[in-house]
Structures are given as C-alpha cells and as structure tokens.
Amino acid sequence: MHVPLRHIALACHVALILLLATATLAAGITPFLLCVAVAIVAPLLIALHALVTRRGGAERWLAVLLVPYTGGLSVEVVARAGAAPLLSTGLLISVLELGVLLALIRSGRPSAVRE
C-alpha cells in the first residue's frame, strides 16, 4: 500500500491540532482556556488551509512553524516527567510531521547535477 507523503503530513497535522486543543481543554472548558486553545491552534489551522489548497511553499512555512511547537511540547513533556500522555503523543506526532514535511520538501526539489 502506497500512501503519498502529503496525506501522511495532513493526517499528522490534523492529529496535532486535535491533540493540542484537547490537551489545552483537558482541565475543563472555560472561556479563558477556550481562548488559549484557539490561540494555540490558530496558526496550525491557517497552515492546514494552505496545505489543503496546495499553496506554493506551504510545506516550507509549516516546517518552520512546527519547530517552536516541537520545542514547546518537548519542554512540557520533560517538565511533567512524561506524565502528560496527550502532550507526549503530540510531541511524537509533531516530530513525525516535521520529518515527513522535510522529506516532502526534499522530494519536490530537483537534485543537483554533478559534472
């Protein structure tokens, strides 16, 4: 079974959005936490729109955007000593998505010709 890298990146992206929103609202749904969840996932939703509509350069911008998310998730996972399964899963998915995006970017670039 062959699944294009783009579909894997989209699946990882949607899963990351859902996990981050769920982890933010796990303590309860309050107006403040709802605003925090929207602020956390809003850039990812914009990137999702760019990925779905296949805008040029969306993969590159998303790869840059994922770096702070991955860093923040890794800090949270270490600070909680791995006691946050949603954040641990989010970290794994963000790293997977970053790797898939880098492979997707690399596969779309023409290789250098050696003479």
For residue range 52-81, list pLDDT tens digits in order.
998 888 899 999 999 999 999 999 999 998
Helix, strand, or coil (residue 8): helix
pTM of the model: 0.86
**What confidence category does residue 110 fall into, taking pLDDT thresholds of 50, 70 and 90?**
low
Does residue 113 register a pLDDT over 80?
no
Half-sphere exposure of 25 (CA within 13 A, CB side): 16
How far is 102 from 43, CA to CA, in rounded Å?
19
Residues 6+ apart with CB under 8 A from 111: none
pLDDT exceeds 80 at position 93: yes
Q: Do the beta carbons of residue 16 and residue 93 sit within 8 Å?
A: yes
Nearest to 60 by CA among 30, 25, 101: 101
CB of 21 closer than 8 Å to CB of 40: yes
pLDDT at 10 over 50: yes
List the domain boundaries for the chain: 5-107
Six token digits for residue 84: 């946050």
Distance CA 79, CA 76 (A): 5
pLDDT, position 1: 44
Mean pLDDT (the chain) is 89
Angstrom distance (rounded) from CA 21 to CA 15: 10
